[in-house]
Chains A and B, each alone.
Chain A
Amino acid sequence: MPSNSRPGFFWARLGFAAAACWLLTEPAPAQEARPPRIKPDYSGLVVPPNIAPLNFSVLEPGSAYRVGMRGASASLQVQSRNPAIQLPEKDWAKLLAASKGGQILVDISVQGADGAWKAFAPLTNQIAREDIDPVLIYRKIHPVDNAWAGMGIYQRDLRSFKETPILENRRFDDDCCHCHILRNNDPATAMILIRSATYQNSFLIITNGQAGGLKGSVGYASFHPKTRLVVSAFTKPRLLLHTARANEMRDIAELEGWLGSFVLGETAVKRLPFSDPSQLMEFPAWAPSGTELYYCSAPIPPATSSQNVEALYEKIKYSLMRVAYDPAVDKWGTPETVVPSAAFGMSAAQPRVSPDGRWLYFCGTAYGCWPTYDPGSDLYGIDLQAARAAGKFQWAKLDLNSDQAESILNWSSNSRWVVFSSKRGNPRLSRPWLAYVWPDGRTGKPFVAPQRDPTADDFNLLTYSNPTLATGPITVPQKDLIRLIKDKTKPAFIMPEERAPNSRE
């Protein structure tokens, strides 16, 4: 039976026709020349064709609201007495699919107290051809996470609003889970770090969808994209409190930081040969080729210790570095400076190379290595292709920054999308923001990940950290991760004998 001969289809058409008649009999709404104010600001965006409905609240006063969306060959209509507009998921998906590479126009009309309708100038969004990785992984924590209460790592299907826990700390005595990383956006290889007062510090490694655990502590780490090598920073952060900083009193200074590597399935950590004892080293990040490792490095100010770090923390500025690596013979080259802190005027942190190897994005912060606590921190980019051609690195601030802290960024596997943490609009809480990256490196207007209830972020008191895009969900059951955390017989890291020559603690 042809689909359009189904009775359901008939009734739908009849209803549509009735609605159209009703609209035609109504007086034409008054036209307002300006576009309406909506929150979140979902206008002028480049939107992934596979994202959940961009629900929003209309901030124009009124008693009823009509929203129409028009694409090239599909449309949807919503009428609501509530200014919080929730778009029908199926119609939205059809609209996006039909508008790939094109535009959608958003018509919003508001009924005033006198019953008259007012139509605003339409909003426009562009629909990209390229999908965004469908899963967003993040950690939800309280803005000050000293007690580690109610913390968890979650994955959200970006095509819907479904959020599922990967690991919730209520299931292991409210200990801390943090710093999840994936290899090449692939959920089959991932790492989650655990700080535990009850079960010892450890980290969980998922390889080929199977979870294993090791006792020990690592810092920020990066999987080699092609081999079983993992490079990690081993650091000793110290919390500092500022008396006059308005929004965020906290600050972090590193007293120790070196780079080490280990091989998946083995327990011995090797200090990397270029890990200079006179330098603090942080944030290793592999280039997708696996032949270069980016990291951040700063000279240790003389006589840095826990006693005088308060006087010196502002002087610690990290340069962005790069070192060649030959995976065939496990040989490291000589480090070269990509972004010298002296020329940059800031401290570089959290570098990420796009999966196509073209772009290197990183954070710039006033000093140190904790951009999320610095409202002035922004994201910067380097065109590596141009750098290779020109023989020098040119960095530029990205268009997606705001007047609040932008920090940790991660790429979609097709190099067309990024997700990053931003405190814009609310300097106490980070939210995951998404943005399109044009082939020439320009970035589209960023937008916050959509919520089923568009007002949800207006009363959500948790902060989202380390947003990461993945090509699919992590499928290891939570119970397996919990079992590993509680397993006191799991093997321990064997640290290099010469642990940290630069440590004066």
Chain B
Amino acid sequence: MLGYKASTMRSKTTGQPVATAPAGPVLAPIVPPSAGNGALWRGIAFFGALFLCLWLGVDGRLIYHGGPEIQRIPVFYWGADFAGQFLGRPGGIGEYLMALGMQAFYYSWYGALAFVGTSILVWAAVRKYARSLGAPVLAGYVLPLLALALYSMYVPACRTLQDALAACLALWVYLSLPAGVGTALRAGVFAGLAGALFAISPGGLLVFVAASIALELTQARWAAAVLALGIGAGVAALEGCVLYGYGGAEVWELLLPARMDWARARQSAPGAIAWLGLAGFVPLLGWTALALKPFRFQFPRGKFLALLARRDLVFSTSWLRPLLAAGVVLCVYVCARDGHLKSRTAADYFASQGLWEEAFAAAKNETRSPIAACLALRAAYHTGRLTRQMLDIPSPDDVTLEGLKGMGVWTRSGVYLDLGYANGALHNLTEAVEGWGERPMLLKSLVLANMAIGNTNTALLYVNRLRRAPFHSDWAKNYLRRYGEDPTLRWDDDFSLLRQRMPKDDLVGGLAPENQLLMLLKAHPDNRMAYEYLMTYYLLTRQMRLFGNHFGHLWSFQDHNVPPLWEDAAVVCAKGLGDSVLPEGYQLSERSLRALDEMKQALARLQGDKKAARNELKAAYGDTYFFYHLYAQ
């Protein structure tokens, strides 16, 4: 690249222009397709589809929200103190800008638009580069597709994207130098770009230098390739060691693609492929191969294949191009999307917004995951389903996610806040902030938990932090205004409820969910959620005696209608342990008794073969507690 001056490629030995593509079925990629309307419509279709997939398919709000299973989404705050954390280290500027850019996902459409905008920049840069290489300009579409694949899997891979974007922009600037620029000036610009890249995104420097070397090799300019390598290495060493004070090994580590992103991406094969591509390995290998051995692929003989290989059909038919481009985008999205993770993240997102019906709909089919099971139970309580529908929960401990370390703290903090266990929530939220960053959603919950505990100053500290968060400053200002008007917080219903429900017994050590719920109920016998959770825990664990012992507490609530599920459970109690377990005077439900009889008869018809009867009984009695009691493991 350093020695590349003219846009017309000439043979090094003869000085004649390089031959253009031969006719026939030989697909010679050197000829760039015409930039007519067809290419324009293809671009519009491609980026339009990209936008729609990101906006409606991936749903950028979920990426912004993050949730327990999506880590390393950068947060952003206005102010010198936040910016100061990024300055003074290689890549800090790029991380700061990336963090700012990622805030666009607060609105799904806005995030999709920002993504498409950056994709167009990347596309333009790679296209220009591919042209210079003599490779197919369609290569410009590869990186946006790979990024889409990662986003469809909710692997934001911010560092890797940052590196790719920075490298592409540097390439674009470099390739835009006029043909007449001399070698010395070109080398100077190259060094300048390398220096800027190291400061903005060191991983991008490696891609930039490698891409430049690949280009030089295409032109068989060995000296220029070595010079590019030397300048890249020199700039990295000088800037890293002298300017930033890093050790040689550390500088090398900085140049490598982000290991953290890789750790998440490699969990699925498409993720690993997409990450490798985005990190520069696949395109570079491909282009280097192109550079060293001109691409002259012979299509196999045969009428059908020959038809497929007809360039005029694939590349020139105006109606097919846009369709194909949009189809490829859709195909990548469909193949890569992680629907389960999306549902679990959506459940957490809706729960954080108090949209419980939506949260339940998203979580109910994902209860194999402890996170989703916990969210489903929480949403079931808020939608009144907890006492009417037995959810398929793999472990009863999932009611409060006790014992689930790591991801558990995020979800557990939400359950604790709902249950009124404010100090437990505070501890888990603080730990979540350490793990997931100062995410505004977590900070808002911390405001509530601290206020409930009486830590006004700490709560206000979080409010002050939120004043500097894009999209959340109005909330914070409003909170401060209302707090200024009435510091007793009577206007905040959540606060009043939490303060009443605080546990009073100081027990030490990790508590099992049952003990936690009993503790909360003891502190505040009107804590309906703690009570329903406790009874649900007994039902899930089939501890019928304990269910019976606490059944009478229902009548201490204003609304003491016995829900159908509990009517069934009371029948199981009475039949198994005797009437004395139940409150005096309680009449067993006729409906439940009838259902139990019918279920017994149905089972008897099948000679008591539980396994064979399962499907039949599920269809008729799947929503009763009898069915759960019979089949739960």
Binding site for B on A (CB under 8 A): 142-147, 149-150, 171, 240-247, 249-251, 310, 313, 425-429, 453, 455-456, 458-461, 477-480, 482-483, 486
Contacts and interface: CB of A to CB of B under 8 A. Distances in A.
B383 interface: no
B368 interface: no
Contact of A427 (B246, B458, B503): B458
Contact of A143 (B241, B430, B519): B430
A149 B427 contact: no
A27 B492 CA distance: 46
Contact of A461 (B424, B426, B461, B511): B461
A145, A250, A428, A453 — which one has the most chain B CB atoms within 10 A of its CB?
A: A428
Given A240-B508, A428-B455, A461-B462, A142 B430 contact: yes
Nearest to A249: B427
Nearest to A427: B455
7 nearest A-B residue pairs (beta carbon): A479-B247, A244-B506, A142-B434, A459-B464, A310-B509, A144-B430, A144-B431
Main secondary structure of the interface of A (DSSP, over half): loop
B461 A243 contact: no
B98 to A, nearest CB: 16
A209 to B, nearest CB: 16
A39 B349 CA distance: 38
A144 B247 contact: no
A242 B508 contact: yes
B245 A477 contact: yes
Nearest to A171: B250
A456 B427 CA distance: 24
Interface string B424-440: 10110011011101100
B166 interface: no
B408 to A, nearest CB: 12
Contact of B454 (A246, A310, A456, A486): A246
Interface in B428-460: 430-431, 433-435, 437-438, 450, 453-455, 457-458, 460
Contact of A242 (B460, B467, B506): B506
A458 B427 contact: no
Contacts of A242: 506-508
Given A144-B427, A144-B431, A147-B434, A241 B250 contact: no
Contacts of B352: none
8 contacts: A142-B434, A149-B435, A243-B507, A243-B519, A247-B455, A310-B509, A429-B458, A456-B81
Given A243-B505, A310-B509, A459 B461 contact: yes
Contact of A240 (B245, B435, B437, B509): B509
Contacts of A246: 423, 453-455, 502
B465 A478 contact: no
A244 B516 CA distance: 11
Contact of B424 (A145, A243, A429): A243
B504 interface: yes
A244 B509 contact: no
A245 B423 contact: yes
A486 B458 contact: no
A250 B460 CA distance: 22
Contacts of B460: 458
Contacts of B462: 461
B630 interface: no
Interface of B: 80-81, 241, 245-247, 249-250, 423-424, 426-427, 430-431, 433-435, 437-438, 450, 453-455, 457-458, 460-462, 464-465, 467-468, 502-511, 516, 519
A244 B502 contact: yes
Contact of A244 (B241, B430, B505): B505
Contacts of B453: 246-247
Given A240-B508, A251-B508, A479-B246, A459 B468 contact: yes
A249 B465 contact: no
A478 B245 contact: yes
Contacts of A461: 433, 438, 461-462, 465
A456 B510 CA distance: 36
A146 B405 CA distance: 11
Nearest to A458: B464
A246 to B, nearest CB: 5
A243 B503 contact: yes
Contacts of A149: 434-435, 437
Given A242-B507, A249-B426, A459-B465, 18 more contacts: A142-B430, A142-B434, A143-B430, A146-B431, A147-B431, A147-B435, A171-B246, A241-B427, A243-B424, A246-B454, A249-B423, A249-B427, A426-B457, A453-B81, A461-B438, A479-B241, A479-B247, A486-B249
A245 to B, nearest CB: 6
Contacts of B506: 242-245
Contact of B457 (A251, A425, A479): A425
Contacts of B455: 246-247, 426-428
B503 A244 contact: yes
Contacts of A145: 434
B49 to A, nearest CB: 37
A455 B80 CA distance: 12
Which interface residue of B241, B246, B433, B458 has the most chain A CB atoms within 10 A?
A: B458
Contacts of B245: 477-479
A144 B434 contact: yes
A459 B465 CA distance: 5
A483 B249 contact: yes
Contacts of B502: 244, 246
B81 to A, nearest CB: 6
A61 to B, nearest CB: 11
Nearest to B504: A244
Contacts of A251: 508
B468 A142 contact: no
B247 A460 contact: no
A388 to B, nearest CB: 41
Nearest to A480: B247
Nearest to B254: A171
B247 A241 contact: no
A169 B450 CA distance: 29
Given A243-B503, A461-B438, A426 B423 contact: no
A444 to B, nearest CB: 24
Contacts of A144: 427, 430-431, 434
B470 to A, nearest CB: 15
Contact of B461 (A147, A240, A426, A479): A426
A477 B240 CA distance: 13
A453 B80 contact: yes
A426 B507 CA distance: 25
Nearest to B246: A479
A243 B250 contact: no
B427 A479 contact: no
A67 to B, nearest CB: 22
Contacts of B508: 240-243, 251, 310, 313
A40 B461 CA distance: 14
A458 B241 CA distance: 36
A146 B435 CA distance: 8
A247 B456 CA distance: 11
A249 B424 contact: yes
Contacts of A241: 427, 508-510
A166 to B, nearest CB: 12
Contacts of A245: 423, 506
Nearest to A240: B508
Nearest to A424: B457
Contacts of B246: 171, 479
A79 to B, nearest CB: 22
Contacts of B434: 142, 144-147, 149-150
Contacts of B424: 243, 249
Contacts of A486: 249
A311 to B, nearest CB: 8
Nearest to B406: A147
A461 B511 CA distance: 29
Contacts of B458: 426-429
A242 B421 CA distance: 12
